Structure 1
Amino acid sequence: MGETSAHEFKFLIADEASRGSYVKVKDGSKDWIFAQVVDVTRSNLAYSLNTIDEEKTEAKERVLGLARVIGVASGGRLAMPTNPPRPGDPVLRADGPLIEMALGLSKGNLYIGLLDGHDLKVKLEADSFVQKHCSILAKTGSGKSYTAAVVLEELLEKGVALLIIDPHGEYASMKQKNAKGEFAKYEVKPRGYDVTVYSPANQALAPHADRFFRFNGKKMTAREISAMLPEDVTNSQKGVLYEAIKILSSDGGDYDLEEVIAQAEKDTSKAKWGLIGHLEALAELGIFSGKPTNLGDLLQRGRASVIEMTGVPPDLQGMIVAKLLSDLFEARKRGLVNPGMVVVEEAHNYIPERGSGRAASTAIIRTIAAEGRKFGLGLLVISQRPARVDKNVISQCNTQIILRVTNPNDLRALSKGIEGMSSELEEDIKRLPPGTAMLVSNEIEHPVTVKVRPRKSRHGGASTPIVGERARAATKTRAEKGAKPASSQAGGGETGLSSGSKEKKETGGFLRKILGK
C-alpha cells in the first residue's frame, strides 16, 4: 500500500500477523524480497474523532503492517535490494526454508533454541563463536545464567575446553542431568557433563569443591606479584615490593610470599604498610600453599573447569583471576595448554567500566579480548549490568546474546557497544519475556529473537526462598547437608580436599597486629 522503498513498505494485513514475524513479496518475476514486520497498527474510520458522535456507520477496520526489508533471496544467498516492491502486489508469510536461508540459521552446529514464533532451530557456528568471543547480557531474573549454561553445554558437546570463573557456585550443577523442561518440543535429551570444581579457598569455606586451586608461590617475580595487586596500588608501594624481591633474589633461595612480606616489613618507607596489607590478604587465603594446580588440567577438551569463588573476598577475586588468566594466556601462546574458552560470570566485577570500579583482572581480560583469537583462546563474558562492563571488551564480542534489559543506562551501553542497534531493537529488548533472547551475530544476517532451549543439565541458579515454609525447609536441608563429613563431599585425587586442612599455613598475622586483634 502507498509509497514503498527498497528499505521498507506498508501493507494491508488480511489475517493475524504480529511484530517480529517474517514476510515475503515478489521482486520482479523470480526472487523474493524478504522482510520483517516491525510495527502493526489497527484503525477504523467509523470510530474516528470526526464520526464518533454521528449515527452508526458500518465498521471498516483495517490492520496495517510496516515491514523492514532484510534482503532479496537470490540464488541461495541474501542480496541487498535495489528496487522497491510494487504497490498492489500480494504480501505472503515467509516459509521456513526461506527464513532459514535468508537469516543463515542452519549454518552452525551450536543449538541455542527455536526462532520465536516458529519451529525453526537457531544454530551458531562453534569455531567462529569461540574465536570471535561472545557476551551474554541481561537484567537479573531474565535467564542469563540459564542461557549461558545452554551455550556451554553445546560447546562441551563439540569438544571445546572451558574454564569458568564462577563467583556464586552456579555451574557445579552441570554435572547432573536436568529433570524439568519441554525436552520433546526442543528435541533435546537430559544429561550431565564432565565438570571439575576448583576452589581457591580452604576446605571450611568450600567443602563441596572437587579440588583446591593453588598457585606456585615459590620465587615469584615482582611483576607477577604486581599483576595481582589492585590498580590503586601506588608506585611507592610497588617500589617496596621490587626492592624486597631484589634482596631475596640475590640470596638465591626459593623464597615464598611469607618471606616477601617479612622482607617488606624491614623497609623504612611508610608505603610498605598498604603493600603488606594486600600481600597478607593473599597469604591468609592459602592460595600459594600446597601443590600448585597444573594449568594443563584446567583446559581439557570436552571438559569444564570451574573456578568457584565462594568464600573468597571480592577484592581478592580480581587478583586471583588476574594471575590465573595471565599464566594461562602465556601458556597458550607457547602451546603448553589446549585451545579453549574462558567464561567470566558477573563480568562487571572483573572488567568494570572506567568510573564503575577497579579490578586487577581488567588488563589481562582486555588483552584476551583483543589478542586471544590469534592464539585459540576465546572469551565469553556474562553480566547483569551491561553499563558497568568495560566497553572495550564488549565491542570485541562478535556475538551478543541479550535477554531482557530495562535499565536506561544499560540500554544506552548496549546501543554504544553493539553495531546496528536500532530504537526498534531497544524496544524489543525491554519487552523480552524470561527465557527469550535477542541474538545479534555476524554469523546471522539480522538480529533474531530466540526461545532458548531447555538445559540438558540441572539448573543451579534458582533463587533461594526467604519467606514462609519454603524458606524454613531450605534452611533445614542446608543444615542437614552441612552435617556430613567434609571428606565425603570432596573429590579425591592428588590435589583433592582430603588433605586440605593441613595445607593452610599461619601467616605473620600482620593485620591483626596493627589492628590490635
Structure 2
Amino acid sequence: MEPVGYVIGNNGVDELIMIANPRYADVIKLFDYVYYEHGDSRILAQVTGINRELYRVSDSLAPVVFNDGVKPVETVLVKLLIIGKKTGDLLKLPEAPPPVSTPVYQADPELVKSYLGLRGRLCIGYLASMQDVKVCLNEKAISRHMAIIGATGNGKTWLSVLVIEELLKLGATVLILDPHGEYVKAKETVSKMDGVGLTVFRLSRQHAGDLTYRVGLIAADPDHIASVSGIDDKAIRIREAFSLAHRCVKLAAKAYGDSKLATLRNMERILAQVASGRRIQVGMLQNLFGTKYPTGNLNDNKYFRRLTVVLSELNDLASESAGRHAALAAKRYVRKLRRLGVYSPLSTRLLKLLKARHASVINLAGLDDSVQDHVAYSILSRVLKARINYVRRLPGPKYPYPVVIVVEEAHRFAPGNGRRTLTYGILSRIAMEGRKFGVFLVLITQRPSKIDQDILSQVQNYALLRVVNPKDREALLEAGELMNSNLDKILASLNIGEALIMGPIVGGQVPIVVKLRNRVLEYGGGDINLDKYWGVKDEDYENEVSRMMGLKIPKLTIERAKLLLDKISDESLSDSVIRGYVNGARVEVDLKNEVWSCSKCRNSMKPCEHVVALLLKKAMREAELMHK
C-alpha cells in the first residue's frame, strides 16, 4: 500500500503535521482517518486541517517562477489529530511522536470500526469521512445526560429528532419541552414508525395539540402562580391577599372533599368579597361558590379548622383600606390567570404524559416566558417525584420506567446570567441526581454561553454542530472535559448536518464527526422561505381572495395576512369549509355561504387578517399547483 503522506513534524504528543503524497493531495479530505505504524502497533489519526502552500523558492528563481509561465510547485500540509493505539479495549496515545518521514496510510473501514467501537443501538448516521461506517451511539450512556449544541440552522433539532426516533424504537419514554412548537409536526409522520406513539399536549385550546395539559392549583405554590400572574415580588400586601385566597379555595376543596372548588373563579369571588369590605363566614361559602356541601359534622376535620383561620385572616384584610385595595389588585391578577386557561383544580394525570415507547410533546408555543417556566417546572417536578417514589418505594404517584426529557431552548429555562427561573432548580437537581432515579436530560441550545454552566458541567455527552460565536466556543471549552483547542478547530469546519460527538455515548475516548442520516419524523421551525413571500404581489392574490369571499379585501389586511402565513397549522378542507389555526386563532371559512369566524376577532363585518391568511395560503397553493 502506498503512503498518502509522510510525517514532517508535530505540534505536541497528540497532533502531527504530514506532507501529502502529491498523488493523493486531492484525495485527502477533512475528517479522513489515517494511520502510521509504530513497532507492532498501528496508531490511528484523523485529518483536522488541510493547507496548500507554495514550495519555497530562492530569490533568484522567483522571477522565473512567477513571470516566465513556469508553474509554481505547491505542497499540501495536513494536520492530524492522533486518536491512539489499541491496547485491549482501550485506546492510548503513543509515548512519543513518530520520526520525521514516517509513512502515513489511509485507514480502511474495518480498522476504523475496530478502533472506534460504536456498537450501540442509537443509529443516527455514519462517519462524515466514511459513509459505509454506521454510527450507533451507546444507548446506556444517555444516563449521563446529553447536550446538543450548534448555531441556528445547522441541524440541532434534526439531530434531536434522530435521537428521539432511536429511543422510541428501543421502547423509551420520552418527554419533550417545546417552546416554539417545532415538534408538533412529528405527529403527522409518527405512523411511519411501527408500534410507536406520539401525543402533542397543548396549553391553550387555540394551539395545536391532541390533548390539553393543565397545571393543578391545589398542588401549586401560591408564590409561583403569583409570579406568573405578574405580581411584583415587592408587592407584599397584594401577594398576601392572593396567597390567602389560594389557601382558602384549596382548604375548602380538601375540607369538603370536592377538588372542583379550587378554581381561579372561586379565588376571584373571595377577593371580590374582601375588596368590598364584607366579612366572609363559613356558611357563606356555599352560596359564594355556588355548590352544595355535605352536612356532616366538620369540627374534627383538620382542613376545616385551617379554613376558618384563613377566613379570619381574609376578614382582617377586609377591615382595613389597604387590605381592601390589595384584594382588589390581586383580583385583577387572578382574572389575568383565568384568561390564560392553563390552571385547573388538579393537574393532568401524569400517566397521560408518560408511556413506554411513546413521546409526549408539550407545546408551549405562544405562552409568556413566565408561564412556560411554571409549566416546565410543574411537569419536571412531577416526573422526578414519580421516579423517586418508584425507586424508593414511597407513597404517591409512581412511574416504573426511566424517562428521557428533551429540553429545547434550554438556555431559556436555565439561564446563565444569574437570573434564577423556577425550572432552573429542578433541572439542576435532575442534572445532578437524575441518573440515580432514571430521569435523563437531552439539553438543546444554540447559545451554550447563556445556559447555566453548573448544569452544563453535569452533562458528559456532547453533540456539537457548527458553533460560530467565540463566547459559545469558550463556554464549551470550560464546560466539556473532553473539549480542547484541537476539537474547537473542528467545530468551525463542520458542514450543515454534521456533528462532533464526544463522551461515553461514543465510548468516552474518541470524539467522532458524524454525518446525520435522514429523518422519519418531521418537525417545524427552520428558516422562512423569503422568496416565497417577497415575490408575492398583492394583485396576484387579492382578486382571488376577494372572489372567494364576494367582497373587496383591503390592501392593509392582505399585508397583515402575509405576515401570518408561516403561523398556520392544522388546516383542513371539508366540502366548502376551510378550517385551521392562524397564530393561535381558530378560523373557519364557509366558502359556499361566504361566512367566516375567528376565535380572536369574532365575526367582524369584514374578514380579519387571520381569515384572509387562511384564504391567501389556499390561493397560493392552488397557484403553485397550476404553475407545476
Band the TM-score falls in, shorter-chain normalisation: 0.7 to 0.9
Matched residues in 2 for 1:211 and 1:103: separation?
Answer: 44
Paired residues of 2:190 and 2:196 also in contact (CA < 8 A): no
Q: Counterpart of 2:167? A: 155
Whichever residue aligns with residue 73 of structure 1, its letter is K
Identical-pair percentage: 28
Paired residues of 1:201 and 1:310 also in contact (CA < 8 A): no
Q: Counterpart of 1:196? A: 199
Quote how far apart the aligned CAs of 1:154 are. 0.8
Matched residues in 2 for 1:458 and 1:366: separation?
Answer: 30
Quote how far apart the aligned CAs of 1:3 are. 5.2
Q: Counterpart of 1:22? A: 33
Q: Counterpart of 1:453? A: 517
Paired residues of 2:228 and 2:370 also in contact (CA < 8 A): no
- How many residue pairs match? The answer is 474
- Per the normalisation by structure 2, the TM-score is 0.67
Quote how far apart the aligned CAs of 1:469 are. 5.7
Q: Counterpart of 1:209? A: 209
Q: Counterpart of 1:386? A: 448
- Give the superposed CA RMSD: 3.7
Taking a change above 3 Å as real, the CA distance of residues 199 and 487 of structure 1, as seen in their structure-2 partners, is farther
Q: Counterpart of 2:497? A: 435
Q: Give runs of aligned pairs for residues 91-490 of structure 1, distance below 5 A.
A: 91-104=104-117, 106-119=118-131, 120-129=133-142, 131-177=143-189, 193-202=196-205, 205-206=206-207, 208-218=208-218, 220=220, 222=222, 225=225, 233-234=233-234, 236=236, 242-245=243-246, 252-253=255-256, 254-260=261-267, 263=270, 266=274, 267=317, 268=322, 279-289=334-344, 292-335=347-390, 336-337=398-399, 338-355=401-418, 358-444=420-506, 445-468=509-532, 475=565, 478=568, 481=571
Whichever residue aligns with residue 216 of structure 1, its letter is G
Quote how far apart the aligned CAs of 1:160 are. 0.8
Larger displacement relative to structure 2 (299-308 or 389-398): 389-398
Taking a change above 3 Å as real, the CA distance of residues 84 and 427 of structure 1, as seen in their structure-2 partners, is closer
Quote how far apart the aligned CAs of 1:280 are. 4.2
Alpha-carbon deviations, 1:438-489, whole Å to 9, x = none?
Answer: 1122343222211111101234334343444688699499499277799998
Alpha-carbon deviations, 1:7-41, whole Å to 9, x = none?
Answer: 3333332113234322211121x211122233334
Paired residues of 1:228 and 1:322 also in contact (CA < 8 A): no
Larger displacement relative to structure 2 (398-407 or 157-166): 398-407
Quote how far apart the aligned CAs of 1:72 are. 1.1
Taking a change above 3 Å as real, the CA distance of residues 85 and 328 of structure 1, as seen in their structure-2 partners, is same
- Per the normalisation by structure 1, the TM-score is 0.80
Paired residues of 1:19 and 1:39 also in contact (CA < 8 A): yes
Taking a change above 3 Å as real, the CA distance of residues 233 and 327 of structure 1, as seen in their structure-2 partners, is farther
Whichever residue aligns with residue 162 of structure 1, its letter is V
Q: Which has the higher contact order (CA 8 A, sep 6+)?
A: 1
Q: Give the structure with higher Rg (CA).
A: 2
Matched residues in 2 for 1:273 and 1:427: separation?
Answer: 60
Alpha-carbon deviations, 1:267-300, whole Å to 9, x = none?
Answer: 4467778866665443322222387421012111
Larger displacement relative to structure 2 (282-291 or 416-425): 282-291
Q: Counterpart of 2:17? A: 10
Paired residues of 1:138 and 1:405 also in contact (CA < 8 A): yes
Paired residues of 2:231 and 2:333 also in contact (CA < 8 A): no
Taking a change above 3 Å as real, the CA distance of residues 389 and 272 of structure 1, as seen in their structure-2 partners, is farther
Paired residues of 2:180 and 2:363 also in contact (CA < 8 A): yes
Q: Secondary structure at the match of 1:387?
A: helix
Whichever residue aligns with residue 497 of structure 2, its letter is G
Greater helix share, 1 or 2?
2
Q: Give runs of aligned pairs for residues 499-510 of structure 1, distance below 5 A.
A: none
Q: Secondary structure at the match of 2:123?
A: strand
Taking a change above 3 Å as real, the CA distance of residues 456 and 10 of structure 1, as seen in their structure-2 partners, is same
Larger displacement relative to structure 2 (247-256 or 163-172): 247-256
Quote how far apart the aligned CAs of 1:333 are. 1.0
Paired residues of 2:568 and 2:580 also in contact (CA < 8 A): no
Matched residues in 2 for 1:435 and 1:412: separation?
Answer: 22
Taking a change above 3 Å as real, the CA distance of residues 273 and 139 of structure 1, as seen in their structure-2 partners, is farther
Paired residues of 2:154 and 2:497 also in contact (CA < 8 A): yes
Larger displacement relative to structure 2 (77-86 or 336-345): 77-86
Matched residues in 2 for 1:402 and 1:417: separation?
Answer: 13
